[in-house]
Amino acid sequence: MIGYKTHWIGNECEGRLSDIETLFIGDIDCEPMQNGWVAENHVYLCSPAVNQMIERGSWNWFFDLLQNGLSSKIITLEVPAGELHKIPAQVRNMVHIMYMFHDKDFGLLKSNDSMKVVHGEYQLHCTTKCNMQEVTPDGYKHDK
């Protein structure tokens, strides 16, 4: 829906919060961001909205929102690869992060092949493809 709407409601279908009704935000200047949040328990700020927040560089308004208006909600920030360090630690610690990167070669792996993410000298995480959640276009069919 990104590119078509600034915000929408649908069931989360990616990651550990799957099947939760979610308010998706694609633009931080949209009505729900300016005039209060709807009743959904999960608010997902998509990568374009996160990029807007990073570009504007002022995080006090969002930190205040987390402490006051959103303290009872689950907030997810969809963060593009290489951008996580631009989000203040106090914000990162209060939200769920969906770290997103694109790699076309991943589709060539067999289900029992493994992937490794290296994040420092002898510091890495590995998983097999079959242990990862697979999401297809069908998962988005109930968005409204």
Task: Measure the CA–CA gap between 40 and 21, rounded to whole angstroms.
Answer: 6
pLDDT at residue 14 in the model = 85
Average pLDDT value for the chain: 84
The answer to whether the CB of 117 falls within 8 A of the CB of 103 is no
Q: Which residue has the higher pLDDT, 44 or 144?
A: 44
pLDDT, greater one: 71 or 87: 87
pLDDT band at 133, cuts 50/70/90? confident
Q: So what's the pLDDT on residue 37?
A: 61
Which pLDDT score is estimated for 39? 55
User: What pLDDT digit, counting tens, does each position of 6-58 carry?
Assistant: 988 888 888 888 888 888 999 988 877 766 665 568 899 999 999 999 999 88
Position 144 scores a pLDDT of: 65
In angstroms, rounded to a whole number, what is the distance separating the alpha carbons of residues 14 and 115? 18
Share of the chain above pLDDT 90, in %: 34
Q: Which pLDDT score, from 0 to 100, does residue 18 have?
A: 85
Report which of residues 3 and 125 the model is more confident about: 125
